[in-house]
Structure 1
């Protein structure tokens, strides 16, 4: 299993999530966050909450099967890409084990 973390522009969240759902990926976590950048974007601002951040971002997190990584990365990349600074970044990490809390079953076992 793999975990995908995508740090993206907040205005792209709805479009990307709808594309992922349309392609059968329904288990998605979305968070609002702030990040540091190079202050190159004319719409960037200095945060009122944290003195070191300069831009709002959204984080999408998913755990998927190994064979689905390229499809998810391609969907997210296709709809994120503007060729401008701040398009986002994706991370793919190994997930050693996952447990369903309700049943204590491991790795999606039924």
Structure 2
């Protein structure tokens, strides 16, 4: 099992979630996050440019089976891409075990 963490533009959130649903992702968690990277957010007021701090993003967390990993990652890449700096990042980590609290199921059965 793999955990996908994707930090995407908040403006692309709905499009990414719809694409993931069409691809068969039945569960995900998301959070509003702020951060900075190569892209900076500036505002201009009366001819003066100001750095307004951190840029709002949305973080998705998804747990998938090994067989479904590449399809989920490709779906996020396609739906979240604008081609501009600041599109985000995807991180994939290995999960040793997953348990469904309600039934006690573990492993693959717990994520379906």
Tell me the TM-score range normalised by the shorter chain.
Answer: 0.7 to 0.9
Question: 1:82, CA displacement in angstroms?
Answer: 1.6
TM-score relative to the length of structure 2? 0.82
Bigger proportion of residues as helix: 2
What is the deviation of 1:42?
4.5
Q: How far apart, in 1, do the equivalents of 2:34 and 2:59 lie?
A: 10
Match of 1:31, SS state, is strand
Partner of 2:46: none
Partner of 2:52: 45
Kindly indicate which of the two structures has a greater share of residues assigned to strand.
Answer: 2
Number of residues of Structure 1 aligned to a counterpart in Structure 2: 103
Does 1:4 pair with 2:1? no
Q: Provide structure 1 residue ranges, at least 5 long, that are not aligned to the other structure.
A: 47-53
Q: Matched residues in 1 for 2:30 and 2:17: separation?
A: 9
The secondary structure found in structure 2 opposite 1:6 is strand
Q: Any runs of at least 4 consecutive aligned residues in structure 1 with deviations exceeding 4 A, and if so which?
A: 41-44
> For residues 18 and 93 of structure 1, do their structure 2 counterparts lie closer, same or farther at Cα, with a shift above 3 Å needed?
same
Larger Rg: 2
1:50 aligned partner = none
Distance 1:20 1:63, change over 3 A: same
Match in the other structure for 1:84:
84
Note if contact 1:99-1:108 (Cα within 8 Å) is conserved in structure 2: no
